[in-house]
Each structure stands twice: as structure tokens, then as C-alpha cells.
Structure 1
Amino acid sequence: MTPTIPFKQKIKKFVLVYLTDWGIVLIVGLILYGLMIGSVLPKNPNVKLHEIATNDIQSPIDTVDTQATQAKRQEAIGSTPSAYAYNKNLGLIQVEKVGDLFDTIAEVKNDEKISSDSTQEQVNAAIKIIMDRLSDSTDSHLPNNTMTALITASDHNLQIAEDIASTSIYEAMNAKVGWNDLERAQDKASASLPSSVLNDSIRRALNEVLHAYITANYSFDANATKQNKQEAARNVDNVVIHQGEVIVKKGELVTNDMIRQLKLVGLLDEHFNLIPFVGLLLFVSFITFIFWFEYFRFKENHPNYSVKFLYIYAIIFCGAAAIIKICSYLRLTNISGISYLVPLAMAPLMIRILLNERVAVVSGLLLSLVGSVLFGISAKAAIFDSSMGIVLFFSSLAGALVLRKRQARPKIMQTGGLIALVNVLVVLSLLMFQNTPFSLLSTGLSLGFAALSGFLSVVLTNGLMPLFETGFSILSPIRLIELSNPNHPLLRKILIEAPGTYHHSLMVANLAERACEVIGANGLLARVAAYYHDVGKTKRPKFFVENQMNGINPHDKISPQLSRTIIISHPYDGADILRQYRMPKEIVNIAEQHHGTTLLKYFYVKAQEQSEQPIDESEFRYPGPKVQSKEAAVVELADSIEAAVRSMKKPNPVKVNNLVKSIFNDRLSDGQFDECNITLKELKSVEKSIDETLRGVYHSRIEYPKDLKMKKVNPKWQ
């Protein structure tokens, strides 16, 4: 029956496993939101209508000024001239109409027998007939006296009048005649009537005919005018208030139009707007999600993961964001380029050392986005400061990539110089993009602060690294490299007190490092741990065969049980010594576990030979624990194999290979790797790597004949 887990333990497990991670990520998000909330808080300037502005006020956003745009369009519509159309055929049409008039008069005159002797009633009746016939063909109406003069005229005079009217109308309307020029054209045509062939009554009648039939042929085109004005309005671009544009200049009188523009961009908006806060929440959520995603990838791929890495990541990330926030206020000093002093490269440098390169690069990108927002707040002109974001990104990228794999603490001149060079080049390129005249003072200050940022980042990294390594017991590559220094007090202690053990440890370190690299484990940790794994032998160095230089073995004079006690105690004596020297936990564990629960076969067999009673095998086994990590397993195999090969007489590749397989199978069958996460495939790779390394050490050599006599050397060659 499977035992049930108590409810309290389930709750505790849930809190430790899930709430710890998510709680820290949530705290990171809240901190970032608090740092960047200034980007969405109202930035209401202290301005009043008809007062002098005390400082420049810039637009925080891009927006269209609809009122100014509409006014500009109305101005364009008003300035667009009216369109006119010229009807060049209208003169011929009017000539045809006047011809119809005279033809109708002539027909009615003949039909009604009208002459100069006709009565007024006959004339009026004829005029009525003429008007009825012309009602559909003409829109020109002549007075009765004009019609009377024409209908009572002789046929000859009527024909002359028709010819003169047609000619005068055609000549007058052959040019453009607008409404403004119509009266002048009519008067000109009337003045040109020949007095020699026309009597006064006919001339007066023709004058009325010309005024009635000469009309404007160049007139206003309403449709074309409307289209032109609409096209002019469409061609007017929107009036845009650009982000960063100065709306109110310092020392200017604040006008109604300025107040209107400030309200338009939201600087005088007294109503609470939730949308910017939601937008910032989405932005921070994106940053936090990428933060969590990279942390999760690191967690999945790190063999010795602990939640302390999340604490470290969160502290560095939030600390870097806070430093950016503080440095953003340096702009208030009005010193040119001082904002480039922000030492953001420090964060990727530390993350690269304490976590890995990928997390450092992504964190640099995220922090540069955060920095662009924070510097945008301080500028009070934009939500994002893109130029500063670019500088921060390349600076952080340099911090993440400039450190070499096995470099000790970042060197101020070397690492700082490379970051400073990147900063200077990026700032210089941005200054060139602006296409503005260079000022020796401002440009020099900007480049100087950018360079100083690189060195400051390295100084802060070197100063803060010991705090993280000590506070969180972090074994960083830098720390490992420092511990591998031959001048370390413990290594010198091993070299002086147990020189054989020291050289044995060097060999084990070489074997273990290469084998760990083959299976993807921490080769540097295995190497450094191998240096210290036998430090416990310094308590009684002469009891270990590699330190017995004069051939005297003290075990020959003591019982196997006492020998067992001395030999078995060395891993635990070593762990105690390492703890006294405040060595990292990982190295202490490997020193304590490197023999696991293996059997001291030599002294066990010797004890059985000397005893008449059976001896329990457990009495001659190391008490453990068994190896708990891949690095510890590799060090155990390398230690056992190197010691065994060292004791062989005339080792050769075949003997070495057989010995490696024998020890490997013995450890595997003895269950020494049961508590370790190393796979059988990885163990086979370790076995192969150690065998290949030892083959290189104990390769076949040429045997020279013993009786070969040296020839006498020519003195001049010596």
C-alpha cells in the first residue's frame, strides 16, 4: 500500500517548488513596473494662460492637430481660384438662334400680310404668333417695340438687319466673353452698327437684338470649381505635433493656441486615463515573461541547479534596472553626455560569470529596453529614448560576450577597455547620425563618459562578485580558476607535505577534466576538485604509498584494522580541512565522496589472512556517501584508475586498457554510481576518455640495447 502524503507536506512542497519561483518572478515584475510607472504618469507642466513660460515644454507623443489641419485646409480651399469653362460653339448657336428669329418674322410677315400700313392689332397678333413659335427655340425675349420695328420693316431692310445681327453676334462671341465683360461686348457690337444702311428704328431694334443674343461664353464651372477645391483640401498634409517638438519655449508668452496644443498631447489632461497603465503592464509582462523563460531554460540545463540562482538573477536584474533609473537623473545636471556613464555592462558581466552566456545576452537586451523607457521618463519628451536604448544594448552585449571562457576576474584595463571601445564607437556613430556640427567640448564629454562606463562596469563587477559568491556560496568559473592557482595555501601544503599525492592529484585532474568535457559536465570543477580531493592525506602522508620515497611502508608494522582506520579517514579529514579553509561546498562534497562505499581489498584480505574468524566486509568499506554528481563520479574513477596504473610494473596500452575496464566494471557492479544522475552511456564515454588519455601517457617506447656503447664525441661538437 502506497503511503499517503500529509496535506501539510503537499502545501509545503507546492509553496517551495512553485510559489518560490513564481513569487520571485512576480516581485521582479512589480519592481520593474514601479521603476517605469513614471512613463505613464501625467506630466502636467506648470503653465498658465498669458504668463511667461519658465522652461521648454515638449510633446511626449506624436499626434495630429485636427483643428490646425482643418484651418489649413480651409485656407487652401479659399485660395483655390474658381474654374471657368469656355464654350467656343456658343457664338454659332446664338447666330442660329437669331437666324431663326428673323426667319420666323419673315414667314409670319408674309403669312399675315404685315406691312408698314398694318394696324396695331394686326401687328400685335403677328407678334404673338412669332413669340409662340419661338418659345421652344429661344430663351431671349425682345420688347414689343423691337418686334414691331422688325415685322413692319421692308423685306430688304429685314434681310440687311439679319445679316448685320448675325455678323455682329459672331464677331462679338468669337472671343472669350465673361459675365464681367458681357455689357462691354454688347455695347461694342451696338456701336459698330452701320448708320448708313439702317434707319433709326431698325438700328434701335438691332441694338436690342444684339443685347439679347450676345451672351457670355466664358462662365463659372461649379463642378470643376468644387473638384478643384476638394483636391486642394486633400493635398493638405495633416498638421502633426511630433514627439519631442517644443510646444512652449522658455520665455515666451503662453497663448490660447499653446494651451490647446498642450491639451491635445495630454499634458493638461486632468482626466484619469487607464490605457497607458495597461500598456505599461503589457510591456512589463513581456519583459518578465522573457526573464522567466530564460531562467527556466537555465534551470532545465543546469546540472547542479538551486533556487539560489533565481535569487541571484533577480537581484542582478532588478539592481541593474535601479542603477539605470538613478543614472537617468544625471541629465538634470545638464552636463553634456553624462547619461552615457551608466555602467549597464556590469549586469551581463556578472550574469555571464554566475549563470551563463545566453542568459547574459538576453538580459542585456531586456535591460536596454527598460533603460530606453527610464531615460525617456527623465527626458520628459518621450516614452522611449531610442538612442539611449541602442547605447545600452551594445554596451550590455559587449559585457556579455567580452569575457573569455576561463578568464579570471575581469581585468580592468583589458575587459574594461574593450567595453569602453564598444561604447565609444556606438556613441560616436549616433552623434554622426544626427548630422549636426561637432562641438569639441560636448563630443569629448560624451565619448569620455561612454569610455568611463566600461571601466566602471568592470570595477563594480569585481567589487560585487565576492558578495554574491560568499552570500550564495556560488562556485563560479572565476572562483574555480582562483582555486586552481598553485600558490593557494592548501595546494602548497599538499606539495610540501605530500609531494607524491600532489603529482597524483595533477594526473587525476587531467583525466577528470577531459572526461567531464566529453559528457558535458563541468570539467573545470572536476579539475579543481581533483587538486584538493586527497588533501586529507597531509595528516599522515607517509601512510600512503605515493609519498613513501624511501621504500619504508609503516603499514607493515601495524594491524590491518589500524591501517584501515588511517586510510578510510583521509576523505573525511580532507573534507574537514576544506571546510576550515571555507572551500566551496561542491569541492568539499567531491573530496568526501570520491571513494564512495568502496572496499579496501588489500587490507581486507590481509585481515582475513591474519584472523581465524570471518571478518565482515562492511568493516573495511568507506562509510560513504556514494557520489552524488557526475563530476564526483568522474573524479572517483580517475582517482582509482590513476592510482592503479601508477602501481603497475611496465605499463603498456594493453595492460592499461584491461585495468581501466576492470576498475570500471568493479565500480559499476558495486553500485557506486546508483545515487548519481550519470547514465551508463556517459560512464562508457568516461571510460573511453580516461583510457585514451592514459594511452597517451603510457605509450610504447623504443627499448635501447643495454650493451650499446656511446661513441666518442668530437670535442668541437660539445
Structure 2
Amino acid sequence: MKWLYMINRFFKKIRSRWLLLLTVMLLGLTFFLVTLQNVITETYDIERFSSADETIRSPLTIEHEQETERKTRETVQAVDDRYNISSEITEERTAFIDEIFDAIAMLNHSEPADDRSGSGSTADNAEDPATTQTKLNELKELLSPEITESIDHDVFDALLRTEPGDRDDAKELLVQSVNDVMKEGIRAENIQRARSDVEQIIQHSELDDATKPPLIDISQFAVTENAFFDAEKTAEVRKTAASEVDPVIIRAGEVIVREGQTITNAIYEELKLVGVLDNDQKMFPVIGLGLLIVLMMMVMVHELNNFAKTDESDKGRLAAVFFVSLIVVALMKIVSLYTTSVNQLFFAVPLATGVLLVKLLLNERLAIVLSMLYAIIGSIIFNSQIPGSLNVEAGIYFFFSQMAAIMFLTNVKDRLAILKSGFGMTIVNVLTVLLFLFLSIEKYSPTDIFLQSGYGVMAAFLSAVLTVGLLPLFETGLGILSDYKLLSLAKPNQPLLRKILTEAPGTYHHSVMVANLSETACEAIGANGLLARVGAYYHDIGKTVMPHYFIENQMAINNPHDVIEPQQSADIIISHPYDGGRILKEHKLPKPVVDIAMQHHGTTLLKYFYYKERERNKHAREAEFRYPGPKPQSKEAAVICICDAVEAAVRSLKDPTEEKIDDIVASIVNDRLMDGQLNACPLTLKELNHVHQTICETLKGIFHSRIQYPMKEAK
């Protein structure tokens, strides 16, 4: 029998593994199909100079090299040529002016006194032409050849006739004007403009009108080219300007053409550059998405496999993971259809519903892992269909929202804990929304802050409401026994428990004792203590069919077994597990509870009636006095099988000492083990030892020795 059990367990394990892989593969395929549109570049059939039927955004970030080259070229062309200004030439030209005026001043200073101040001189007396010519000749000898060759003699003559004070003012104005103009640099093509500028200064000065023409002639000579093209410096400046030009980048999500806008040649080239006119679908994003889904499924297989080791991974639980994931993905996909860059509706997605259901129906570790996977999927779904990008903001928000739901759902046995978790989610959601608003460089109005915070509150509220509404559907539809369901079955006002209490009160009290022992023992070995307690409450409900045939209900009446045959008594006793299973099925109680009721005696032997029959009939068959089974299939059923026998045996003891309790528990455990009643359950010998010790400690606490108080002597 042992080897048959091992073979059965092996094939059951193989089937469970294949079922797990099939579930994960279907889930991965669903994730892939839902997110495929978010990574594939949509292509358009567009002609130049036509009107766009819809707004088209760039699916990727790419440099517009042609536009960058044009921008660089324009920047380089806009750089002015660089010139070297020769200060030597400026100094040379001003020196010429000083030379002219100094020479004239010297000649006038050396003129004889009687010639300058004759008694009969008048305003209209003219200087002797011979004297003037002599001075001009002397001036020629004094001045540089470059000056005399470039300036007409009439200019010198006019200056010789100018009063010294006016001549000094003229010199100062001319030197200053020439210096100012030449200091800025005069290129060959700008000489005439520079000379014209100096001429304008002289014309608008307060000098005597007779003095201005010679000054203008001297300025025409003095102002000359002093700025020369520097090819090396110009090339360096242009190179620097070109390196500072920012490349023209088309960002992912950037609008290239709006609906109704004409497709110009420039727009057409941009559309072609980003690949939306290429009918050949790019497979790399699809491959990348496939690799991401594969990695996510590997994580999910690992976690579901770990879950199966600690808690039997049946079809219902795998189906729960599958359907919860479908609900989560469907919620995100539907909301994404109405989400824009302005209206960030992903804040309102009640994504925490999924992890709340998983924690309530399965366990917390799996809920945490799934919260990370759901956040990754959400960051893809809400990427505005921009291939190659993830909405990190949505992913972070979803992760913190789900983690808040898991952390704040502390007491899974209290239905109000879901609402309490909703309050915790509200706080975390609003804080996360504010986090993004404050980190953003954009300015948000109070209306935006309240709107997006309101989305976070809505997500928390909807998550709690949907969890409360969907939980019974999963429990009933998939046959998953949650703590909420078990707690409701453990309430004393349950019809079946009232039935046991009223029709078989002894059995009711026996069941309560077995429940206490079983819950404590199961929790000691990591089994479901709450399931053991509820299963123990209902395990003997079959006794309500014929309650007086069971000793705990025989109060103030004769034992009916004394007047019937042992075989008949055995049939009545043996039928109670299966009568109980029938009753529980009729009232639609969960399968694990039904299984416990039908398995809690396994295939044990009714020794009392068997040996009583052997006294009458030596050919009595043992099989007729054994329960038909099945043997306990779960840890909880096995523990209840032991505790049921232990409670009845200890209750029959007149003086239950610690030694007697320990001996009777050990004998019952050994009997069940040697009789093969524990062969079909996953209990290990180490766990069985823990069960033994826990039952003994619990019973010793119940039947502890009481202090004998001294009796008061009668006076």
C-alpha cells in the first residue's frame, strides 16, 4: 500500500507541475498580447502635401541628423570673420596728425615780431604771398614725404592762416575722432564709411567753418585700413560655434503632425525618419517584450512552486492567480484608453484589488511578488504607446499603492481590515501623487493637485470595494477556502452548528475540544489552524442522524447498543462520517471541510464491536468492522483524526495525570501510524512528534492539577 501511495503522490505532483506551467504560460501569453500594441510602431500610409487624418507622435527618440547639419551650417555661417586690429597703424596715423600741427605751430612761432604785430595791420591786410610760399616750402622740408605727397598744399596754407587757439582745438578734435574710429578697427571695405564718420564729427563740431575743410582733408589721409583678416582665429571660432550646436532631437511622444495639418516635405522627412512610414514591422521591440514576459513568468513559476510546497496548489488556487491577473490587466488596459499626457488617469486605477485578493485567498509573499510584476506591466501599458519607453511614474505609483494595501491589511481574519487597508492606501496614494508633483519642474495649479490626489483617493476606495465584492465570487466560484469563509463557518449561530448543539450536545462539546486541540497542533507544524478548528466543529455532524447511539450523547438513558447485534452497532457507528459528508454537501460547505468529516476516521477498526463479535463468531471479518475510508489526505485531516481519538480517550480517564495523558496520546499516535492511517497525508515524523508534544501540553493545561483547599473544621 505504501508504494501505491508513493506512486499516486508522484503522478499527482507531476500533474500539479504541468498545471502550474500551463497556467503561467497562458498568463504570459495574455500579458504579451495586452502589451504588444504598446511596443509596436504603428505605420501610416501618407502622401506628401496631403492632410493628416490623425495626430501622429514619434514612437522613439532619435537625432534628426539632416536638421542638425543645417543648424550647424547656419550657425557657422553666422559667425563673423575675425580680424586683427593693428595698434601700430593707429599710432602711426595719429603721429602724422601731430607732426602736421606741430610743424605748423613751430613755423608760426618763429615768425619775426614786427611781421606779426605791425602798427598799421588791419583785418583785411593779407600776408605777403612770398612769405606764405616760403613757409610752405619750409613746411614741406619739415614734414614726412608721405604727408606732403598725400595732402594738398592748400590744406597747409589754410592751417597756417588759422589762429593758434582754433588750430589747437582742431588738432584735439581730429586726433580724438581718428583714434575713436581706428580703435574699432577699419577693414578695407569699411574705409569710406570710417572717413565719412570722422567727416560728420568735424562738420557738426563748433570749429570755425574755415577750419573744417582742411581738417576733413587731413582726416581722409589719416583714416586708413588697420584691421586685417585672421584666418586661423576665424576657423577656431567657427569650430567652437559648431561644437556648441545642440543636436536636433525628436523625442519619443513628441507630436510630429497634428490632425488636419498639411504634410509638408519637412514633416514627411521627419515621419520617415522615425519609422512610421515603414511598413516593415520592427521585430526587436517585440523580441524585447517577449524576453521581459519570459523573465516575469520565471519569477511567477518560482513563487507558485514555493507556494505549492507550503500550501497545496490546487486548480482553484492557480485559477485564482490567473483570474486576478486578468482583472488587474483588464483594469489597466481599459483606463489606458482614456489616459492622456494631461489627464493622468492611471492614478485612479484600483490596482491594489489584485494583491488584496491574492493575500486573502493565498498568501502575503505571493501578493508582494505579484505587486512588482503588476507594476512592471502597468509601466508598459501606460507608456502612451511609445515603443521602447516605460512609464516609470505609473510603475512607481502602482508599486507603492499595492505595497500599502498589503502592509495595511494586517488581520486577514477581519473583514473590516479591508476597509482599514483602504485608509492606509489613501494616504500612500496621495503622498505618491504629491511626490511626483513636487519633483516635477512644471508648475501645477491647486486644481491639478486636488484632481490628481482625488484620483489616488478614488483608487484606494475602489480597491477596497472591489475586493469586498469579488472575494465571495472567488471563494464560491473557485472553491477557495479563505479565512473569511472559515470565520463565518465558525460562528456559533451557523445552522449546522446549532443542529449539533441541540440534537447532539455531547457531540458538540466533544467537537469544541477536538477543535481546540487540532488548531493548536496544526499551528505548531505550520498547517492551517483555522481550517482544523472549523473542520473539527463539523467533523461529527453525521452523529445527528442517530445521536443516541454515541456515548457522549447518552445521558440518563440506556445504551441502545446493549440490545442490538455488534455488526448492527458497527454499521451505525461507521456510517456517521459519510452521513456527515452528505449533510455538509447538501448545505454546500467547502470541500476541505467535507473531506475532513469523511476522512477523520480513515480506515480504522472499531475494536470494541469487532472483538465483541469475535466472542460470538470466530469467523468475523475485520474488514466489516473498519471504516471504508478514505484515509486522511491533508495534514489538517490527519491531526483531527488523532485529536478525535485522543479527546475521547482522555475524557474517559477517571484520574488524568500527566503520565497517563502522555501514554494515551503516544499509544494513539503509534496506533494510527502503525495502522497506516497516516500514509496518505504529507505529515512527516518530525511534524508528528510536534503534534504529539503539542496535544500533550494542551491537555495538561486543560486537566491541570487543582490545589486542594483545606476544609473548614466544624465547630
Give the TM-score, by structure 1 length.
0.73
Alignment equivalent of 2:650, drawn from 637, 641, 645:
645
| 1:354 CA displacement | 2.5
Counterpart contact for 1:176–1:218, Cα < 8 Å: no
**CA distances 1:544-584 after superposition (whole Å, capped 9, x unpaired):** 22223336433333333333222222212211111111222
Distance 2:443 2:24 in 1: 46
Alignment equivalent of 2:382, drawn from 364, 375, 385:
375
Match of 1:475 in 2: 481
Percentage of matched positions with identical amino acids: 43
Distance 1:341 1:35 in 2: 20
Query: Is 591-600 or 628-637 further displaced after alignment?
Result: 591-600
| 1:689 CA displacement | 0.7
Q: Aligned runs of 1:29-40 on 2, under 5 Å?
A: 29-40=28-39
Distance 1:16 1:556 in 2: 50
- 1:485 paired with 2:491, answer yes
| 1:291 CA displacement | 3.0
Aligned-partner residue type, residue 295 of structure 2: F
Match of 1:358 in 2: 365
- 1:428 paired with 2:440, answer no
- 1:234 paired with 2:243, answer yes
Match of 1:319 in 2: 327
Match of 2:693 in 1: 688
Match of 1:341 in 2: 348
Distance 2:354 2:407 in 1: 12
CA RMSD of aligned residues (A): 4.2
| 1:468 CA displacement | 2.8
Query: Is 530-539 or 414-423 further displaced after alignment?
Result: 414-423
**CA distances 1:585-629 after superposition (whole Å, capped 9, x unpaired):** 221121111112223233334444x52646444443323222222
Match of 1:515 in 2: 521
Return closer, same or farther for 1:183/1:468 CA change in 2, 3 Å cut-off.
Answer: closer
Return closer, same or farther for 1:343/1:406 CA change in 2, 3 Å cut-off.
Answer: closer
Distance 1:45 1:424 in 2: 40
Distance 2:41 2:190 in 1: 68
Query: Is 341-350 or 19-28 further displaced after alignment?
Result: 19-28
| 1:250 CA displacement | 7.1
Counterpart contact for 1:357–1:401, Cα < 8 Å: no
The gaps in structure 1 that reach 5 residues or longer are: 1-11, 91-162, 166-174, 185-215, 711-718
Counterpart contact for 2:338–2:345, Cα < 8 Å: yes
Match of 1:703 in 2: 708
Alignment equivalent of 2:677, drawn from 662, 666, 672:
672
Aligned-partner residue type, residue 477 of structure 2: G
Match of 2:252 in 1: 243
Distance 1:387 1:336 in 2: 14
**CA distances 1:451-474 after superposition (whole Å, capped 9, x unpaired):** 222232233333333333333322
Return closer, same or farther for 1:15/1:534 CA change in 2, 3 Å cut-off.
Answer: closer
Match of 2:273 in 1: 264
Distance 2:650 2:66 in 1: 92
Match of 1:110 in 2: none
**CA distances 1:198-238 after superposition (whole Å, capped 9, x unpaired):** xxxxxxxxxxxxxxxxxx99865544543443233223332
**CA distances 1:104-161 after superposition (whole Å, capped 9, x unpaired):** xxxxxxxxxxxxxxxxxxxxxxxxxxxxxxxxxxxxxxxxxxxxxxxxxxxxxxxxxx
- 1:288 paired with 2:291, answer no
Counterpart contact for 1:406–1:481, Cα < 8 Å: no
Counterpart contact for 1:533–1:574, Cα < 8 Å: yes
Distance 1:260 1:529 in 2: 73
Distance 1:13 1:557 in 2: 47
Match of 2:390 in 1: 384
**CA distances 1:455-509 after superposition (whole Å, capped 9, x unpaired):** 3223333333333333332222222222212221111111111222112211211
Query: Is 449-458 or 629-638 further displaced after alignment?
Result: 449-458
Q: Aligned runs of 1:429-578 on 2, under 5 Å?
A: 429-550=435-556, 552-578=558-584
Could you say what secondary structure the match of 1:330 adopts?
coil
Return closer, same or farther for 1:180/1:625 CA change in 2, 3 Å cut-off.
Answer: closer
Query: Is 635-644 or 649-658 further displaced after alignment?
Result: 649-658
Distance 1:37 1:401 in 2: 32
Return closer, same or farther for 1:271/1:223 CA change in 2, 3 Å cut-off.
Answer: farther
| 1:656 CA displacement | 1.5
Distance 1:308 1:177 in 2: 90
- 1:26 paired with 2:32, answer no
Could you say what secondary structure the match of 2:351 adopts?
coil
Return closer, same or farther for 1:435/1:417 CA change in 2, 3 Å cut-off.
Answer: same
Distance 2:527 2:428 in 1: 33
Counterpart contact for 1:660–1:687, Cα < 8 Å: yes
The gaps in structure 2 that reach 5 residues or longer are: 1-10, 90-143, 147-181, 192-224
Q: Aligned runs of 1:27-176 on 2, under 5 Å?
A: 27-43=26-42, 57-82=56-81
Return closer, same or farther for 1:612/1:413 CA change in 2, 3 Å cut-off.
Answer: closer
Return closer, same or farther for 1:228/1:437 CA change in 2, 3 Å cut-off.
Answer: closer
Counterpart contact for 1:592–1:625, Cα < 8 Å: yes
| 1:254 CA displacement | 5.6
Aligned-partner residue type, residue 293 of structure 1: H
| 1:533 CA displacement | 0.8
| 1:283 CA displacement | 2.8
Query: Is 446-455 or 517-526 further displaced after alignment?
Result: 446-455
Could you say what secondary structure the match of 2:337 adopts?
helix
Distance 1:672 1:412 in 2: 41
Aligned-partner residue type, residue 38 of structure 1: Q
Give the TM-score, by structure 2 length.
0.73
Match of 2:413 in 1: 407
**CA distances 1:362-412 after superposition (whole Å, capped 9, x unpaired):** 22222222222222246x698433322322222333344433353254666
| 1:45 CA displacement | 7.0
Could you say what secondary structure the match of 2:37 adopts?
helix
Return closer, same or farther for 1:279/1:668 CA change in 2, 3 Å cut-off.
Answer: closer
Distance 2:484 2:278 in 1: 54
| 1:46 CA displacement | 9.0
Return closer, same or farther for 1:56/1:428 CA change in 2, 3 Å cut-off.
Answer: farther
